[in-house]
């Protein structure tokens, strides 16, 4: 491929995986604005409705653990194209589904595909680009990644109002067709590092995958059950989740000690910047995905806007975020990443504080400005975090590092969506029982309390970000 297309090939490859990543992110944003319409159609409560988002994210989280093995076993092209086909199939099934369980199944299929695709660009950027180009490549890639998902909620809101919630599923189909064409044309057959497909492949760690998947499912399901009485089953699920995740760590250590290839290589955690990056990623994922779930609901249920208005108010912030990416990408090649990540987290926390001040009489332009502040913060974090966490790693651990940090970020995100759904319903019930509050004021207070929780989480991540400094790391054995 490099001989055929010359030095520009690495940019063509980046464009190819960009199309697939955009396709994988559209379902995570476009469907959120349709949740109230889907809830009404299927007669869902808040606890069941949040699984429209959580189901996608749980599947994504679990699938990210398999990406390093899939790339080694089947190579870039087969892994990438197979995931795109699964994504397209899930979208079509969801669009035609007549029953809620089938909608959830389609969201799980989309999530599995998205989880496989999303760690791939970080592997390619760190393998195909020189260190002085990696920030620029990450920034340009990030600009493209956020541009389409920024437009997706606005388009999804309009389509929901005009054509119904089913139309939001079909939005991704044209993008998947473009991603398939680019994948067959530019994505190589080889595995990371240029090795032949299957050359260094071992069997998939099914025991590790089962433990990790089981622990993730029990944790999120237990969190969802916490607001129901009695709470005994919820605590049992959370305890089982902790047991399974502890078993996962023990099994990964055992696999490594035997010289076999684990699902998650724990040698990654010898690198302090990577550990700090994982902590930031987990809390950042909770805040980012929790707010992505919360904002459309707040605008529709809290202050009474339509789905179209809610989607369009997110559009300017998405465009600003897209413009922020290339600027911060260039800065990441020259400035300490912990400073950039810290600035981003501070802006994100400020945005959540400002949202607490929003009421039904707040001017829409001011609401849009508050959202923009948070999206500028995301623009500082995203291009810098992966580079700061993964640059010090040995080349042989990059694919594992990309999958692991993506897994931790998505686990935090899935937990964040569940947490926000639980807290929102809990606070709504508390305020509804208060005779001194009318229903509208109680609803608004519940949303404000959720934004206060997200602010606190950002401050926790900010403390970890101060430790995100490059240090030498032992080479993989």
Greatest Cα pair distance, the chain, in angstroms, is 74
Total count of domains within the chain: 1
246 inside domain: no
Task: Identify the pLDDT of residue 193.
Answer: 59
Residue 15 sits in a domain of what CATH number?
1.20.1250.20
Task: Identify the pLDDT of residue 85.
Answer: 95
In the numeric block, the tokens 């067709």 are attached to 177
Sign of CA dihedral 118, 122, 127, 132: positive
243 inside domain: no
The answer to whether 357 and 338 have CB atoms below 8 angstroms apart is no
Please give the Cα distance from 25 to 409 (Å, whole number).
Answer: 14
352 inside domain: yes
Task: Identify the pLDDT of residue 473.
Answer: 42
Q: Please return the burial class of 24, using the count of CB atoms within 10 Å of its CB with bins 0-12, 13-18 and 19+.
A: buried
Instruction: Give the range of the structural domain holding residue 436, as residue numbers without chain letter.
Output: 2-191+263-465
Which residues, 6+ apart, have CB-to-CB distance to 411 below 8 Å?
Answer: 61, 216, 282, 285
**Entry pTM:** 0.73
233 inside domain: no
Instruction: For the chain, 477 residues long, give each residue's pLDDT as a single digit of tens.
Output: 566 666 677 888 888 888 888 888 888 777 877 888 888 888 777 667 777 877 887 888 888 888 888 888 888 889 999 999 999 999 999 889 888 889 889 999 999 999 899 888 878 877 777 767 777 777 777 666 666 666 777 787 788 888 888 888 898 899 999 999 998 988 888 766 555 565 556 678 889 889 988 988 888 778 777 766 777 888 899 999 999 999 999 999 998 888 888 888 888 888 888 888 888 888 878 877 777 778 888 888 888 887 777 777 777 887 787 788 778 877 877 777 788 888 989 999 999 999 998 887 888 889 889 999 988 888 888 777 777 777 778 777 777 887 788 888 878 877 787 788 888 888 888 888 877 777 788 888 889 999 999 998 888 888 878 776 654 444 444
In the numeric block, the tokens 């599995």 are attached to 112
**DSSP assignment of 284-349, as one string?**
HHHHHHHHHHHHHHIIIIIS---HHHHHHHHHHHHHHHHHHHHHHHHHHTTS-HHHHHHHHHHHHH
98 inside domain: yes
476 inside domain: no
199 inside domain: no
Q: How far apart are the first and last CA of the chain?
A: 31
Q: Is 45 helix (H, G, I), strand (E, B) or coil?
A: coil
106 inside domain: yes
Task: Identify the pLDDT of residue 177.
Answer: 94
């Amino acid at each position: 491929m490099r001989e055929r297309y010359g030095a520009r090939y690495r940019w063509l490859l980046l464009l190819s995986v960009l199309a697939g990543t955009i396709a994988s992110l559209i379902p995570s944003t476009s469907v959120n604005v349709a949740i109230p319409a889907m809830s009404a159609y299927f007669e869902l409560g808040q606890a069941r409705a949040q699984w429209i988002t959580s189901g996608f994210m749980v599947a994504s989280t679990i699938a990210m653990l398999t990406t390093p093995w899939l790339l080694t076993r089947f190579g870039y092209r087969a892994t990438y194209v197979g995931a795109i086909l699964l994504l397209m199939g899930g979208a079509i099934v969801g669009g035609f589904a007549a029953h809620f369980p089938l909608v959830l199944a389609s969201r799980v299929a989309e999530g599995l595909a998205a989880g496989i695709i999303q760690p791939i660009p970080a592997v390619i950027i760190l393998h195909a680009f020189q260190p002085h180009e990696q920030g620029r490549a990450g920034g340009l890639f990030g600009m493209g990644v956020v541009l389409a998902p920024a437009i997706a909620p606005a388009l999804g809101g309009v389509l929901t109002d005009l054509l119904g919630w089913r139309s939001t599923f079909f939005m991704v189909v044209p993008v998947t067709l473009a991603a398939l064409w680019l994948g067959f044309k530019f994505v190589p057959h080889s595995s990371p590092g240029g090795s032949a497909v299957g050359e260094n492949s071992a069997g998939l760690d099914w025991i590790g995958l089962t433990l990790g998947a089981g622990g993730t499912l029990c944790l999120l399901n237990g969190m969802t059950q916490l607001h129901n009485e009695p709470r005994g089953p919820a605590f049992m699920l959370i305890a089982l989740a902790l047991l399974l995740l502890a078993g996962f760590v023990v099994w990964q250590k055992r696999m490594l000690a035997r010289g076999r290839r684990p699902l998650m290589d724990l040698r990654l955690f010898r690198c302090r910047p990577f550990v700090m990056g994982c902590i930031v990623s987990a809390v950042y994922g909770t805040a980012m995905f929790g707010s992505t779930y919360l904002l459309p609901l707040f605008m529709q249920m809290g202050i009474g806007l339509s789905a179209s208005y809610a989607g369009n108010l997110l559009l300017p912030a998405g465009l600003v975020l897209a413009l922020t990416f290339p600027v911060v990408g260039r800065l990441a090649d020259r400035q300490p990443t912990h400073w950039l990540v810290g600035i981003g987290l501070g802006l994100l926390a400020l945005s959540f504080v400002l949202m607490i001040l929003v009421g039904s009489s707040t001017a829409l332009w001011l609401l849009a400005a508050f959202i923009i502040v948070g999206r500028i913060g995301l623009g500082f974090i995203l291009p810098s975090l992966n580079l700061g966490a993964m640059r010090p790693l040995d080349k042989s651990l990059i694919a594992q590092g990309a999958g692991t940090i993506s897994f931790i970020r998505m686990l935090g995100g899935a937990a964040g969506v569940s947490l926000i759904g639980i807290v929102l319903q809990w606070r709504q019930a508390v305020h509804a029982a208060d005779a001194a509050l009318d229903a509208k004021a109680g609803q608004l207070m519940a949303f404000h309390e959720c934004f206060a929780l997200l602010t606190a989480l950002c401050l926790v991540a900010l403390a970890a970000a101060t430790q995100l400094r490059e240090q030498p790391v032992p080479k993989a054995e």
